[in-house]
Each structure stands twice: as C-alpha cells, then as structure tokens.
Amino acid sequence: MSRLNAFLSGFASCAVALAAFTVLTGAKAPPPKFDEIDVGRINVREPDGTLRMVISNRAQFPGAPWKGQEIPRPDRRDYAGMLFINDEGTENGGLIQKGQLGLTGKPDAGLSLTFDRFRQDQVLQLLHAEQGGKTLTQLAINDEPPHAPADAKQRMQRMDEADRLPREQRAHAYAQLKAEGLYPYNRVRLGTTLDRASALTLADAEGRPRLRLVVSAEGQPLIQMLDAQGKVAKAIGLD
C-alpha cells in the first residue's frame, strides 16, 4: 500500500507540474479531433469575436451580416448553406441550396454560389434552378457600383421607397438611381435556358444585351447583334 500511495503521489505531482508548465509556457493542448459531428449551425469567428463564416441548416440560417450586425432576410428561410463574411463583419458572398418536390409533384430546387463586391451585391453567380418542370443552369457576371456614395443597404432602401411610389414616379426614381450610377447591371450570362437552349449573352455598361450566341434545343446555331434598344440589327444563322 505504501508503494501505491507513493506512486499516486508522484503521479499527482507530475500532473500538477505539467499543468503549471503548460500555463507558464503558453503551450497549447492539441485541438480535439472528430471523425463525424452532427450540428445545426457552425459560426467561424476571429479571436476578437468577428463573425467570418456561417454554415447552417435551414432552421438556423441567418439574415445578412452587416458591419457586425444582422439584417433580417425572411426570403432565405427556405435555404440551408454557407455565408462568407469579410473583415468588418459584412456578408460578401455565399452558397445557398434547397430541393424538394413541390405541390405539383415536380422539383422545386436550386443552388446559388455568389461572390459580392465590398458592401454591395453579387458580381459573380453560379446558379442552378428547377421549378415547374423547367430547368436552367447559368453563370452570371454583374457590374456593381462601388460602396460609396451608397452601399447595398442604402441602395435597397431607396429601391424599396421607389417601389412604393405610383408608377410614373417610380420610373423617375429608378432613372435617378441609374443617373447616379447606383444601379447594378448584368454584363455576361452563359448557360442553359428555360427552353433548353444554350446561350451566351454579352451586355454593354448599361446592361443592354448587344451580342447573343444561341444554340437551340433542336441544334440550330444563331448569332444576334442587337442595337441599344434591344432590336436585332444583324443575325447570322444556317438559313
């Protein structure tokens, strides 16, 4: 028994010494390792607490992170996925996805991977959508204005205000946004269309489609050059 007591006493002394060494030297214990975990949401944070990434199920999916706060986004309640968040705590892209059979028995599904301009909306999007028996898969490249003089939050407030105006005043409000350079424009769109064609559309700096390359579902190739009003100025096809 005396030998056992001596062993236990020595073991305890070693454990205390090791703990003291770890505290004094700042040595870190190895991080825990898991083969598999089940979670509802993971928040990745910087040492100062700044949120940098969220991986979440649908029930716990966040709104839009904005300068360390969160803007409600009820339109995201049907999605699970991941959000990317920049150094100031503002969303700058993400991956959202859903998929189920709708009331008609046809898929209601979609995935969207986006990358945002600083304090603005998406400049690059990979999109797949299925709804009502139709499907499209596309790559979109957009022009987004700089964050000053109006960032995405301020711009959305102005758009919401414009949407509540009578039709004539609404058109003027949107024209004013465009005149101030605050309106986003799609510049490139590549992918399949709802009528099962494959298409590439190139637009000018004001978002007006100017060149379109199309191969129809039946295999007919077509090149269209459009004027500023969207009318076909020249077309090249097999016929």
Query: Are 57 and 137 in a shared domain?
Result: yes
In sequence order, the 6+-apart residues with CB closer than 8 A to the CB of 230 are 208, 209
> CATH number, domain at 227?
3.90.930.1
pLDDT bracket for residue 238 (50, 70, 90) = confident
- Whether 1 is covered by a domain: the verdict is no
- Whether 11 is covered by a domain: the verdict is no
Query: Are 165 and 90 in a shared domain?
Result: no
Contact predicate 133/106, CB 8 Å: yes
Query: Are 151 and 131 in a shared domain?
Result: no
pLDDT in the model for residue 99: 95
pLDDT bracket for residue 8 (50, 70, 90) = very low
- Whether 68 is covered by a domain: the verdict is yes
Region 192-213: mean pLDDT is 97
Query: Are 114 and 213 in a shared domain?
Result: no
Contact predicate 107/130, CB 8 Å: yes
3-class state of residue 233 by DSSP: strand
- Whether 50 is covered by a domain: the verdict is yes
Distances (CA, A) of 87 to 49, 54, 62, 94, 157: 11, 14, 18, 15, 24
Helices (H) and strands (E) in the chain, counts: 3, 14
Q: Which domain holds residue 67?
A: 37-144
Query: Are 47 and 126 in a shared domain?
Result: yes
- Whether 139 is covered by a domain: the verdict is yes
Q: Is the pLDDT of residue 5 over 60?
A: no
Query: Are 154 and 172 in a shared domain?
Result: yes
pLDDT in the model for residue 27: 62
Region 83-87: mean pLDDT is 98
pLDDT bracket for residue 36 (50, 70, 90) = very high
Query: Are 137 and 158 in a shared domain?
Result: no
pLDDT bracket for residue 20 (50, 70, 90) = low
- Whether 31 is covered by a domain: the verdict is no
pLDDT in the model for residue 21: 52
pLDDT bracket for residue 13 (50, 70, 90) = low
Which range, of 11-20, 59-68, 191-200, averages the lowest pLDDT?
A: 11-20
- Whether 21 is covered by a domain: the verdict is no
Quote the percentage of the chain above a pLDDT of 90: 82
Average pLDDT, whole number, for the chain?
Answer: 90
Query: Are 126 and 195 in a shared domain?
Result: no
Query: Are 160 and 239 in a shared domain?
Result: no
Query: Are 42 and 135 in a shared domain?
Result: yes
Whole-structure pTM value: 0.83
In sequence order, the 6+-apart residues with CB closer than 8 A to the CB of 185 are 142, 143, 203, 205, 206, 207
Query: Are 47 and 133 in a shared domain?
Result: yes
Number of domains in the chain: 3
Strand partners, 226: 232
Query: Are 51 and 93 in a shared domain?
Result: yes
pLDDT in the model for residue 25: 60
For 2, counting Cβ atoms within 10 Å of its Cβ (0-12 exposed, 13-18 middle, 19+ buried), the class is: exposed
